[in-house]
Structure 1
Amino acid sequence: MTKPQMILGMHLGNGYGSQTSAWRSLNVDPANYASFDAQVRYAQAAERGKIAFLFLPDFPGLQADVDHEAPQITLDPMMTLAAIARATERIGLVATGSTTFNEPFNIARQFKALDVMSHGRAGWNAVTTSDPNAAANFGQGIAPRPQRYQRAHETIQIAQALWGSWQQDAWIKDQKTGRFAHPDKIQPINMQGEYVASRGPLPIPPSEQGQPVIFSAGGGANGLDLAGRYANGVIGATFTIADARKQRQAYRDAAARAGRNPDEIKFFAGVMPAIGKTKRAALDRRVQLGELTAASRVPYLGSMLNLQLDPDQLDQPLTPAQLAVAAPSPFDPRSPRALEVAREGWTIRDILAHGVIDYHPTPVGDASATADHMQEWFEAGACDGFWVSIDVNEDGIDTFVDEVVPILQDRGIYHHDYDGATLRDHLGAPAQYGLDPRLTDPTP
C-alpha cells in the first residue's frame, strides 16, 4: 500500500520573495516588482518541482513602508496568472479575489476565462475584506462581519451558478449545419441575494475541469462555514502541530455539516524555509535579509518574551537574568518558539533570523531540516500539504525544488510527477459544474 502523498502549493507575491528585503538580495533584479517575466520564471521552476498550485494573495491597496520595503503583492493577480498560464502546462493557478469589493459576474467571468485559458487549472481564493484602507479605495466603509460573510455566500453561489449557466453540452460548433450552440442550454440564472445579484448567463464554456476550484483563507466561525460549504483547499496559518490538527479537523467537520465528504477539503499549513548548506549559512542568509529591520523588531521580540529588550543588545544573547524571567506571551502563538530559540543561546539577531516573527514556521538549516519539518507535520495529521513561502524567489524556489523535493520523494511522501492535468486532479477534488447540489440549504 502506497503512503499518503502531501500536496504542495507555492506562494508567489511581489516578484522578489516573502522577506521584505528580498528586493535587495544579491543577484535579484530590483525591477522585478513590475516584471511578469520574473513571475513566469518562478512559476516554471515550481512546476519543475511538480508543485500542485501557485497561490497569489492579494490586497486591494498599499500595505508597505515603501521607503525601504516593496509591497508584498503582485501588480494584479489575474494578469500575473494569465501570463503564467501561457508559459506553463500543469501547475494550478490560485488567486485571491475579494467578495466584498467585486461583483459576482466580474469574478465569475475572470476566473472562468483563466480556467479555460489554462485548460482547467484555475482556483479562486474567495475572501472577505475588512481593512478600512482597502474600503476607501472603493469609496466605501467596512460593513459588519455578518454582512460581509452573507455577501460572500451570495457572491460564491452566484459565481458558481454563472459558471454552470453555459451547460457542459451546450456548445455544438457544427460548421456544416451552421449551429453554434444550443440556446436552451445557455440560460439566465436570475439570482437575487440581499447584497448582490446577477441575471446571467455567462457566455463561457466549461474548461477541462469544468469550473474553477474554490479556496478559502478565512478564520473564525464564519470562515469555517464558508470553507465547509464551498472550498476544496484551505490556506492555513498555524505554528504548532496540535493547533494545525485542530484547525484541519474543524474544516473537515464544517464540510461534513454542509453535507460534503470531509476528504474533499484539503488543509495547507504554511512554511517559510531558511535553507543553507549548514544551519549557520541559513542563518547568515536571513541575517543579511534582515539587515535593515532587525533593530526595529527587537522591542516586539521583547513583548513576545515579556521582556524589555534594547536594540543595543542585538548582537548578544539574552542574559541569564533575562532568561530566568522570560515567558512566552499568551497573545502571540509564535512566542513559545521564540523562547525555545532564545534558550539555545543565540544572539538576538540570530533569534530573529530563525524566523520567530515570520508569518509561518521557519525550519532553519540544510534541505533535510525543511523536509523533516514537513514530514513530521504531514505524518502527524496536521495538514494535507503545505503552501511554501520562499524568502528570495530568484534562487530559493530552485533550491527548494532541487534539494527539498527529492528528499520528500525519496521518503515516499511526495509524488515524482503530476497524476493529472487539472487543479481538481492535483487536489483530488470531485467534479463540479454549477452549484453543488448537495447543499440543500445553500443560504446560511
Structure 2
Amino acid sequence: MILGIALTNNFGTHAATWRMPHVDPNAYTNIDVTVEHVRTAERGGLQFIFIADRLFLYGNLAEANPLFNMDPIITLAAVTQATKKIGLIATVSTTFTEPYLMARQLKALDVISRGRVGWNAIPSYEPDAFANFGKIPPPRENKYERLHESIQVIQSLWGSWGYDAGKPDQSGTYANSVHIRTINMHGKYVGARGPLPIPPSDQGQPVIVMPASSHYGLHAAAMYADVIIGMPSSIEESLALRKTILNTVSEAGRDPKEIKFIVFVGFTIGETKQKALDTRRALDVHTDLKMQLTRLCAYLGLKQELTQLDEPLDPIQLKSLRPHPYDQRSIEAVRLAKEGWSPREILSHAIFDPYPTVVGTAEQVADHLQEWFEADAADGFMMNFDDFHTEISNFVDQVVPILRNRGLFHEDYEGTTLRDHLGLSPHYGLDPRIAKTAKWPDL
C-alpha cells in the first residue's frame, strides 16, 4: 500500500499540540523540525510527504498556531537536501501564479531532488486568498478554466526540453537544440512561449496530484492527475467514490490503471486504547469543547444538554439515542455511547475529525489500513497525526513493522523517484490524448 503524511505545520493537526510540554512553541518557523519529521517518515519507507497550502493566514492566533506551512516550495527546497528517497509533494495554486514560474520552480525542485517531487494542483477559491492578490473571486467554473489552461501550459513547458536533446558532450555540444523547442501557447487566461531551461529529471517531470472535489474538480483530475485524493468517511463511500473516479477517468480517454487513489485517515497511537484516548484528551483539555458537545448532542439525537462529561450516559439518555441513519459520525457516536463511554471520551475518539480516525493501538491502526486496502477502497492513505513530534515515530516504529509482517507494505524503497514509489508509468510533456482535444491554436 501507498503511505504518505500530510505535513500542515511543524506541530500537528490538533490545534493544541503547540502547547504540549515536549513541543517547542517556535517550531513553526524551524526548518530543522520539518527535516526531522520527514527523515523519520523516510526511515519508515513511507512513499511521500505532502504539504498543503492556503494563500492567506489561516487560524486564530490568539488560541492556536497557523494551520499551514509558511511556503511549500521554499520548505521542500530545503528538505530535498536533507533527504534521499522519500517523495515530496507541494501544493501550488494555479489561480495567481503564471504557468512559466510554476513550471520552472516545480521542475527545478524535481531535478534537484533527483525525481522525487509531486505537484498538488488546485485552484484557489477563498475570498481571503483573492484579497491578498487584489482580486475578486470569479465564478467557480472560471477558476477551473484557468486551471485547465495552466496545467496544459505547465506540462508542455516540462516537455519542451526533450530527452533527445541528449547529455552534455565535452567535445563540443552541450545539448541538441533541435529538441529544445518553444511551445507558443496562448489561451484566454494564461500563456507561455518557452522553452523551459531545465532538462528532464530522473523521473522526467513532477507527478501531478489532485483532489476529488466538485464536478469541475473531478473532471480536471480525471484528465491530468497521476494521483487522486479523496476524503470518504467509510469503506462503502470510498468504493463508490473510486468507481465514480475511474468512470470519469475512462470518459476522459485515459486508462483507469494509470492513476492511484488515496484517501485521508488520522491516527493517535498508544500502548493501549485507553492510553491513546488519554493522549487525545490531554490535547482536548486545551480547547473549548462547548461547540463539540453541542454537536455531539445533535449527533446522538438528544435534546437535553450533556452535563456529566466524565460519566456514561444514564439509562434515560441511552433510551433516547437516535442516530442519523446516513451519517457515519452519528452512527459511531451512538455506538460509543451504548458501549459506556462518557461524552468526553466519545469526543476523544475523534468522531468529528473530517476523515476516519483511529485512536487506539498500533494493531488497531494496522487493522484499519488493512481492512480498507483489502476491500480495494484505496491504493493508499494520506495520514494525519495530532502530534508530529510523537506520532510519526510511533507509526514508523510500531505500525510499519506490523504492516510488513502482514505483507501489506514494502520492506524498503525499490526505486529512487516518486513515480517509482507510487508505481506510476513514465510520462513526459503534455499527454497527447489531451493535446488532441485542447483548444490551443499552436498545438
Matches within 5 A, 1:191-206: 191-206=185-200
Specify whether residues 54 and 443 from structure 1 end up closer, same or farther in structure 2 by C-alpha distance, changes over 3 A only: farther
Matches within 5 A, 1:117-196: 117-177=112-172, 179-196=173-190
Stretch of structure 1 that moved more, 306-315 or 126-135: 306-315
Stretch of structure 1 that moved more, 53-62 or 249-258: 249-258
Question: Could you tell me which of 232, 235, 243 is aligned with 1:238?
Answer: 232
Equivalent residue, structure 1, for 2:393: 398
| Alignment deviations for residues 8-51 of structure 1 (CA, whole Å, 9 cap, x no partner) | 11111110111111111231111111111000000000011111
Stretch of structure 1 that moved more, 280-289 or 426-435: 426-435
One-letter identity of the residue aligned with 1:246 = A
Confirm or deny: 8 A CA contact 2:325 2:331 kept in the other structure.
no
One-letter identity of the residue aligned with 2:96 = F
Matched, 1:26 2:34: no
Equivalent residue, structure 1, for 2:211: 217
Confirm or deny: 8 A CA contact 1:153 1:443 kept in the other structure.
no
Matched, 1:424 2:419: yes
Q: CA deviation at 1:429?
A: 1.0
Distance in 2, Cα, partners of 1:337 & 1:108: 45
Q: CA deviation at 1:171?
A: 4.8
One-letter identity of the residue aligned with 1:369 = Q
Q: CA deviation at 1:392?
A: 0.7
Q: CA deviation at 1:239?
A: 1.0
Equivalent residue, structure 2, for 1:339: 334
Confirm or deny: 8 A CA contact 1:251 1:265 kept in the other structure.
no
RMSD of aligned C-alpha atoms? 1.8
Distance in 2, Cα, partners of 1:341 & 1:151: 46
Confirm or deny: 8 A CA contact 2:203 2:419 kept in the other structure.
yes
One-letter identity of the residue aligned with 1:345 = G
Matches within 5 A, 1:253-264: 253-264=247-258
Unaligned runs of 5+ in 2: none
Q: CA deviation at 1:362?
A: 1.3
Matches within 5 A, 1:47-58: 47-58=42-53
Question: Could you tell me which of 424, 430, 437 is aligned with 1:441?
Answer: 437
Q: CA deviation at 1:254?
A: 1.7
Distance in 2, Cα, partners of 1:200 & 1:389: 39
Distance in 1, Cα, partners of 2:415 & 2:259: 18
Q: CA deviation at 1:170?
A: 1.9
Confirm or deny: 8 A CA contact 1:13 1:74 kept in the other structure.
yes
Specify whether residues 193 and 308 from structure 1 end up closer, same or farther in structure 2 by C-alpha distance, changes over 3 A only: farther
Confirm or deny: 8 A CA contact 2:263 2:378 kept in the other structure.
yes
Confirm or deny: 8 A CA contact 1:15 1:38 kept in the other structure.
yes
Confirm or deny: 8 A CA contact 1:168 1:206 kept in the other structure.
yes
Unaligned runs of 5+ in 1: 1-5
Percent identical pairs in the alignment equals 47
Confirm or deny: 8 A CA contact 2:211 2:218 kept in the other structure.
no
Specify whether residues 263 and 62 from structure 1 end up closer, same or farther in structure 2 by C-alpha distance, changes over 3 A only: same
Stretch of structure 1 that moved more, 248-257 or 81-90: 248-257
One-letter identity of the residue aligned with 2:207 = V
Confirm or deny: 8 A CA contact 1:99 1:129 kept in the other structure.
yes
Confirm or deny: 8 A CA contact 1:171 1:205 kept in the other structure.
no
Equivalent residue, structure 2, for 1:265: 259
Distance in 2, Cα, partners of 1:240 & 1:18: 21
One-letter identity of the residue aligned with 2:117 = A
Equivalent residue, structure 2, for 1:44: 39
- TM-score of the pair, normalised by structure 1: 0.95
Confirm or deny: 8 A CA contact 1:52 1:92 kept in the other structure.
yes
Distance in 1, Cα, partners of 2:196 & 2:46: 31
Aligned residues: 438
Distance in 2, Cα, partners of 1:352 & 1:139: 41
One-letter identity of the residue aligned with 2:128 = N
Stretch of structure 1 that moved more, 339-348 or 50-59: 339-348
Matched, 1:64 2:51: no
Confirm or deny: 8 A CA contact 1:20 1:70 kept in the other structure.
yes
Equivalent residue, structure 1, for 2:345: 350
Q: Secondary structure at the match of 1:68?
A: coil
Q: CA deviation at 1:167?
A: 1.1
Stretch of structure 1 that moved more, 259-268 or 375-384: 259-268
Confirm or deny: 8 A CA contact 1:127 1:218 kept in the other structure.
no
Distance in 1, Cα, partners of 2:354 & 2:57: 19
One-letter identity of the residue aligned with 1:243 = E
Equivalent residue, structure 2, for 1:3: none
Confirm or deny: 8 A CA contact 2:297 2:306 kept in the other structure.
no
Specify whether residues 162 and 377 from structure 1 end up closer, same or farther in structure 2 by C-alpha distance, changes over 3 A only: same
Q: CA deviation at 1:173?
A: 2.3
Distance in 1, Cα, partners of 2:69 & 2:250: 35
| Alignment deviations for residues 121-155 of structure 1 (CA, whole Å, 9 cap, x no partner) | 11001112211111111111111111111111111
Q: CA deviation at 1:332?
A: 5.6
Q: Secondary structure at the match of 1:270?
A: strand
Specify whether residues 304 and 71 from structure 1 end up closer, same or farther in structure 2 by C-alpha distance, changes over 3 A only: farther
Confirm or deny: 8 A CA contact 2:5 2:48 kept in the other structure.
yes
Distance in 1, Cα, partners of 2:158 & 2:212: 23
One-letter identity of the residue aligned with 1:184 = V
Distance in 1, Cα, partners of 2:257 & 2:58: 36
Q: CA deviation at 1:302?
A: 2.5
| Alignment deviations for residues 96-130 of structure 1 (CA, whole Å, 9 cap, x no partner) | 11112222112111110110010001100111221
Stretch of structure 1 that moved more, 213-222 or 31-40: 213-222
| Alignment deviations for residues 37-69 of structure 1 (CA, whole Å, 9 cap, x no partner) | 000000000011111111111111122111111
Q: Secondary structure at the match of 1:97?
A: strand
Q: CA deviation at 1:346?
A: 1.0
Stretch of structure 1 that moved more, 184-193 or 81-90: 184-193
Specify whether residues 195 and 306 from structure 1 end up closer, same or farther in structure 2 by C-alpha distance, changes over 3 A only: farther
Specify whether residues 273 and 257 from structure 1 end up closer, same or farther in structure 2 by C-alpha distance, changes over 3 A only: same
One-letter identity of the residue aligned with 1:23 = W
| Alignment deviations for residues 196-245 of structure 1 (CA, whole Å, 9 cap, x no partner) | 11111111111000000100114122122111111111222111000011
